[in-house]
Structure 1
Amino acid sequence: MKNVVSIEGTPLFPVVSLFSGAMGLDLGLIDAGLHIAVSQDYDKWCVETIRKNGHVAVEGDIRKLVDADPECNFLLNAAKLKKEAVFAVVGGPPCQSFSTAGKRLGVEDERGLLYNQFIHVIEKLTPRFFVMENVKGLASMPSDPTDKDSPPLINHILAKFKAMGYHTVHGVLDAVHYGTPQFRERLVIIGSRDNEAVFLPSPTHFHMHQKAEMRWRTLFDAIGDITDSGPQGKFTPAVNEYLKLVPEGGNWRSLPPAMAKLAMGGAYESGGGKVGFYRRLSYTEPSPTLVTSPNQKATLLCHPRETRPLSVREYARIQQFPDSWIFEGKVTDCYRQIGNAVPIPLGRAIGQMLISVALGNSEVRVKRMRGTSVHDTMRQMSQALSGK
């Protein structure tokens, strides 16, 4: 990748990626200058996507992989790395059990325990940094789902990192503040093995700003130039008829009252905002958070002007995947991969932060890595970062 920072062809910042999905976080890190040495995922189509785009992937259930090789050499061998060379381990353990939209079973749900494998890999590889991302619901999830007053689960996770000697920072970041044309909140935990001053990346885009290039990006910015939408899902005929009456930026509340009650069925009397029912998006605002399917009843994502779901290509644009990125599988598989991804601009901001911290305290470390003079090494690093 042209953006990866290297000296004499050797990448300076090799990364091991777990639970990589379609590589949204990974591509952002690559844009920042890091090198993804290996990616890992359980999902067949995610692995096919990773390999189709020319990246190294380890396929399999991380629990079984770790059980078979507790020292995690399967990752080092695939990445062609020595343990001491790993710059960072990154990933987002599957998080459905912590989602505010789900049942929030937390550690009672087997999927909620996969963060233990992520922690295990960090313990064995001892990278200089790690990045763990998850849904924001993890930040408020009690460690005991049967006791709402139990300590937050995140405290348990942070304590494990601390016991391993990692200094951490964490917080909920909204991708819209980093140039993504989408509201998407993610919990991000960043750790430093050597007590370096890691921090949450500063926002670069704002709702209101005197410079146009620093304002939130809109849905039109992302997909307004697409004339051939390509593969897409379908709405039912009944949903199509209702959506034809919903204006851009509207939802079920835009329907005549009697029709709205009929369209909503039992959900009409339920609580909550219900903003996703019969929702037609607005070109002038960022997209709502992409879900794994744009034609689900409560989370419809209808095109602003056409009566159809957002297409796979439009999904990818909103997450800021390059147009050249190939997604493997059926349309439903592609939606799922993109909908689960970390937006690339958010990954890029995190990667830029890591590099800024690394370069601020890199003289001794880089000298040991390359066996060259500090002056020469730093000069080459500077040239690589500036693109010269």
Structure 2
Amino acid sequence: MKKGHYGVPLERSDYLKLDPNENSCTLEGFQDWLEGFGKGKRLAVDLFSGAGGLSSGIERAGWTTAAAVDFDERALETHRANFPGLSLKMDLGDPAERDRLESVLRPAKIDLVAGGPPCQPFSRAGRNKIRDLVKNHGRDPEDRRKELWSAYLDMVKRISPRAVLMENVPDMGLHDDFFVIRTIEEELEELGYATQVRLVDAWHYGVPQHRKRLILLARRDVDDFTWRKPDSVRTTLREAIGDLPELEVVPTERVGDRELKYRKPRDLSAFAAKMREKTPRGVVWDHMTRRVRIDDHRIFEVMEPDTKYSDLQEKLAEDERGYQRYSAEKYTDKYKKLAWNKLSRTITAHIAKDGYWYIHPQQLRTLTVREAARVQTFPDHFRFAGTRSDAFHQIGNAVPPLLGEAAAEVLKPVGDATAMPVGLRPHWRQVRSGLTDWARQRLVGKDWYQFPGEKPVSLHAAVVAMVSGAKTKPAVMAELMTNVRSSKTLTAALFRRLVDAAPSASVRARVDRLAPLVDRSYDWQWKKRFDVPAKLAMKPAEAALYRLLIGEDLMLVGQSTLRVAARVNGIEPDHANRLSEGRVNLVKLVGAGADAPLRMGAIRLIGMDLCREDQPVCSECPLIAHCASRKELPGDLLTLTFGQE
């Protein structure tokens, strides 16, 4: 066999063909399946199912997968072999295919719709374009993956399940101010669902790797989302894979095999015992990985878990068996040796291309298919169709089954699932409604300039954005803004009045920064509003406030707004990961839709004037009735009212 430039024989592994599960069915036999195997069971549908990590989790939690849909043939072959029901190849980005799926599922009573629609970070698309896609459910010819969340939501509306579970990477929310997530929540709430968005560390639920995921849950039976208590101790890599047979590693030779003997150790970990359930005794499948190059063999030998790729130059000096073939400056973390006593690095689809991020802690090789599956919490009896690379790809793209189980458990029916209330009014929808009403009252009063109006004015937004950082007292700021209320452009005369009205040198210096757009009426036109921040050299925080005040749907993430969200949610404002977890808390208050910018303006104002770090003015806060921290915060209303409870 020839060797390529890679330094090992070029080969594809054998193709593993899997037979369908004995309880799987075809489209033609689905009705019989519903009346047979599926009768009396709590049924679920898994959209964008991949190999079935989420399907495995929801089945562990008590559901039966009636149908799974994906576009990857190898992943569907895997799903069909491991699960009952239908495994359908469909492009859900095509409305006609969604029509077909709706028709197929019509005879079934689906309790749960689950799935992880592929979502690109939307910040790169441009917010106006995103808005249009959201509003019109339009198609993006540049990258159809960007619309698949909309296809997922469309299928939820068509199927109308009791509960919904959506899983994705945190970037889906963090890179676009949770715009898509907030939109999905808003639409589900309009249909009578209560919702919850949560960032979850997978290790809290038994997954032996660093993996944070975004989970959206919805249900229309009760407004309750109670997660089980997170694990206090992490499952280490040794506990996850330490029982698997040691493999002989000879440079350039095959490593592992499709089927090997397995000998159960005396000190088998609880995790490994769980992974071995329902697996035939004395055998382990798919414990194989790529051949190891001669130079890599030496690199693996000298590496420690804390060794960076850039550190190898010194370790390999004057060593003929090993050398760095990648730029140490460009690939600082090209290689990563895992540690026995820690969590694994996050398993991603990249493992299908190379395993350098996943070097075994002790053996001079990369992780095997079975080891990667274990780290993702797939049980040992779960097989993956296709080649070795196909298997790695399916594993890396999957939802860890134990994480899926933890999320699905939250959605178990309460009482009689057939007697669902009509018009469930979710808690956070009520909170946002009150916040909107309060903002509208302030909008027509002295705080008019703190909110985007029905017809926002660029000049008003620019003045507020420029001056806000000076921490001017509300009464003084209100007086300053009376000078511009009736104007839409900045004339020289108006500019002089603003300078003269500035109450301090700090405010005057900020007003002076408006000078580049004095007597430039064209630049203040509405169609040019997005150019104003650059022309005035606004700082990022100033530009964000300006964009909010001209009506753009975004989240202002700062100490004061995060403090409001944390207190309402009953969480310490300075908790760890507050910039990510804090955004999730903020999402609950901001929501989506036409009034979202108005609510964001309200949260900003509450954070500045009422929900202060010290001595908050709780009596005037519109969120007081919903604030989980209300009994811990001193305030006049609390003393008068809650002190008498």
Q: Is TM (by shorter chain) over 0.5?
A: yes
Aligned residues: 326
CA deviations over 1:160-209 (Å, ceiling 9, x no partner)? 32333322100111110001111111111001134x22426244312xxx
Structure 2 residue 112 is matched with structure 1 residue 88 = yes
Structure 2 residue 82 is matched with structure 1 residue 53 = yes
How far off is 1:237 after superposition? 4.1
CA deviations over 1:242-276 (Å, ceiling 9, x no partner)? 2221024543255354859x838545168xxx5x4
Q: Check the 8 A contact 1:134/1:187 in 2, yes or no.
A: yes
Q: Check the 8 A contact 1:277/1:297 in 2, yes or no.
A: no
CA deviations over 1:36-75 (Å, ceiling 9, x no partner)? 11111100001110112243201121123x4245274344
In 2 relative to 1, CA 332–104 (structure 1 residues): closer, same or farther, beyond 3 Å?
Answer: farther
| Aligned twin of 1:263 | 324
Q: CA RMSD in A?
A: 3.0
Q: Check the 8 A contact 1:166/1:193 in 2, yes or no.
A: yes
Structure 2 residue 145 is matched with structure 1 residue 111 = yes
How far off is 1:306 after superposition? 1.3
Structure 2 residue aligned with 1:219, among 234, 237, 241?
237
Aligned letter for 2:324?
A
Q: Check the 8 A contact 2:374/2:380 in 1, yes or no.
A: yes
In 2 relative to 1, CA 236–200 (structure 1 residues): closer, same or farther, beyond 3 Å?
Answer: farther
Question: Residues of 2 paired with 1:299 and 1:198: CA distance?
Answer: 43
In 2 relative to 1, CA 362–279 (structure 1 residues): closer, same or farther, beyond 3 Å?
Answer: same
How far off is 1:141 after superposition? 2.1
Q: Check the 8 A contact 2:102/2:155 in 1, yes or no.
A: no
Structure 2 residue 230 is matched with structure 1 residue 204 = yes
Map 1:91-170 onto structure 2 (within 5 A).
Answer: 91-95=115-119, 97-98=120-121, 109-142=143-176, 152-170=179-197
| Aligned twin of 2:93 | 63
Question: Residues of 1 paired with 2:316 and 2:304: CA distance?
Answer: 15
| Aligned twin of 2:54 | 25
Structure 2 residue 344 is matched with structure 1 residue 287 = yes
| Aligned twin of 1:386 | none
Question: Residues of 2 paired with 1:42 and 1:184: CA distance?
Answer: 25
Q: TM-score, normalised by structure 1?
A: 0.75
Q: Check the 8 A contact 1:216/1:286 in 2, yes or no.
A: yes
In 2 relative to 1, CA 290–327 (structure 1 residues): closer, same or farther, beyond 3 Å?
Answer: same
Question: Residues of 2 paired with 1:12 and 1:301: CA distance?
Answer: 40
Structure 2 residue 63 is matched with structure 1 residue 34 = yes
Structure 2 residue aligned with 1:246, among 290, 298, 303?
303
Q: Check the 8 A contact 2:208/2:343 in 1, yes or no.
A: yes
Q: Check the 8 A contact 2:71/2:89 in 1, yes or no.
A: yes
Aligned letter for 2:393?
R
Question: Residues of 2 paired with 1:295 and 1:303: CA distance?
Answer: 16
Question: Residues of 2 paired with 1:351 and 1:256: CA distance?
Answer: 48
Question: Residues of 1 paired with 2:75 and 2:124: CA distance?
Answer: 25
Q: Check the 8 A contact 2:165/2:408 in 1, yes or no.
A: no
In 2 relative to 1, CA 269–251 (structure 1 residues): closer, same or farther, beyond 3 Å?
Answer: closer
Q: Check the 8 A contact 1:170/1:200 in 2, yes or no.
A: no
Aligned letter for 2:115?
G
Task: Give SS of 1:181's match.
Answer: coil
Q: Check the 8 A contact 1:169/1:200 in 2, yes or no.
A: no
Question: Residues of 2 paired with 1:25 and 1:14: CA distance?
Answer: 14
Aligned letter for 1:26?
S
Question: Residues of 2 paired with 1:347 and 1:31: CA distance?
Answer: 9
CA deviations over 1:62-90 (Å, ceiling 9, x no partner)? 123x424527434416xxx43xx211100
Query: Structure 2 stretches of 5 or more lacking a match?
Result: 1-20, 22-36, 131-141, 248-255, 257-286, 318-322, 421-645
Question: Residues of 2 paired with 1:25 and 1:308: CA distance?
Answer: 29
Q: Check the 8 A contact 2:54/2:404 in 1, yes or no.
A: yes
Aligned letter for 2:149?
Y
| Aligned twin of 1:5 | none
Aligned letter for 2:212?
E
Question: Residues of 1 paired with 2:417 and 2:400: CA distance?
Answer: 32
Q: Check the 8 A contact 1:179/1:217 in 2, yes or no.
A: yes
Question: Residues of 2 paired with 1:151 and 1:319: CA distance?
Answer: 26
In 2 relative to 1, CA 267–254 (structure 1 residues): closer, same or farther, beyond 3 Å?
Answer: closer
Q: Check the 8 A contact 1:277/1:298 in 2, yes or no.
A: no
Larger Rg: 2
Aligned letter for 1:31?
R
Task: Give SS of 2:204's match.
Answer: helix
Question: Residues of 1 paired with 2:189 and 2:369: CA distance?
Answer: 41
Q: TM-score, normalised by structure 2?
A: 0.47
Task: Give SS of 2:198's match.
Answer: strand
Structure 2 residue 397 is matched with structure 1 residue 337 = no
Aligned letter for 2:116?
G
Structure 2 residue 386 is matched with structure 1 residue 362 = no
Q: Check the 8 A contact 1:30/1:36 in 2, yes or no.
A: yes
| Aligned twin of 2:377 | 320
Question: Residues of 1 paired with 2:406 and 2:326: CA distance?
Answer: 43
In 2 relative to 1, CA 264–30 (structure 1 residues): closer, same or farther, beyond 3 Å?
Answer: same
Aligned letter for 1:90?
A
Task: Give SS of 2:288's match.
Answer: coil
| Aligned twin of 2:615 | none
Question: Residues of 2 paired with 1:299 and 1:187: CA distance?
Answer: 26
Task: Give SS of 2:210's match.
Answer: coil
Question: Residues of 2 paired with 1:344 and 1:49: CA distance?
Answer: 15
Identity, % of aligned pairs?
30
In 2 relative to 1, CA 340–364 (structure 1 residues): closer, same or farther, beyond 3 Å?
Answer: closer
Task: Give SS of 1:263's match.
Answer: coil
How far off is 1:325 after superposition? 1.0
Question: Residues of 1 paired with 2:366 and 2:172: CA distance?
Answer: 29
| Aligned twin of 1:145 | none
Question: Residues of 1 paired with 2:125 and 2:356: CA distance?
Answer: 21
